[in-house]
Amino acid sequence: MFFKKSDVFFETFKAIAENLNRAAVEFRDEIHHPSPEKKGLTNIQDYEKNGDRHTHTIIKELNKTFVTPLEREDIMNLAVKMDDILDGIEATLIRMDIYDIKDMNIFIKRNAEIILEQCQEVQKSIDKLINKKYLDIRAHAVKINELENEADHLFNNSLRELVATCSDAIEFVKYKQIYEMLEEVTDACEDVANILESILMRNS
């Protein structure tokens, strides 16, 4: 299909959001039902490579396009921050593999669900952006922020539980780092929501 020059950015954002959502589904599934063969890790790495290619496309198009459909800074920041989510998912899964985390406790499982829900809202927001329904973006941005607030409470509770119950220093460090990495992913989702809201304000 042929797209106008300005549509290249929107089509790439759509591809980034779809790729991110598939990775989040894979991540959630791997956390809830770990595969002995580590197939999920391999697939996540493939999604991350796809994400890098899409981000490179955005950068390349920005470098050769004079008139862009959105502010250049917004386009760049949105692409980079969406890529940060995917990088965080991959990094967390790799670290869990290195640490041989076997107890996928309630905190880790719920975080994986929150990340997926946030990524689904990001994808819905991108659809609204592509269709220039800027005002409709706000509801999804608000939902992403609400989920991040839940993740904050979850992070605090997970640390309290860890301090209260874990007597093994090595295990303590392992789980603390995993909880922190999961929190960073949800924060990256919130960053995307904030960028989307700034785009809304500039275009509504």
Compute the distance between CA of residue 168 and CA of residue 134 in angstroms, rounded to an integer. 50
| CATH classification code of 5-203 | 1.20.58.220
Of the two residues 90 and 69, the one the predictor is more confident about is 90
pLDDT digits (tens, 9 = 90+) for 105-152: 999 999 999 999 999 999 999 999 999 999 999 999 999 999 999 999
| Residue 200 scores a pLDDT above 60 | yes
| Whole-number pLDDT of residue 143 | 98
Q: Are the C-beta atoms of residues 162 and 179 closer than 8 Å to each other?
A: yes
| Residue 39 scores a pLDDT above 60 | no
Q: Are the C-beta atoms of residues 74 and 198 closer than 8 Å to each other?
A: yes
| Whole-number pLDDT of residue 97 | 92
Compute the distance between CA of residue 182 and CA of residue 96 in angstroms, rounded to an integer. 11
Of the two residues 204 and 103, the one the predictor is more confident about is 103
How many CB atoms lie under 10 A from the CB of residue 56?
Answer: 13
Span of 11-20, 64-73, 90-99, 163-172 with lowest mean pLDDT: 64-73
Mean pLDDT of the chain: 92
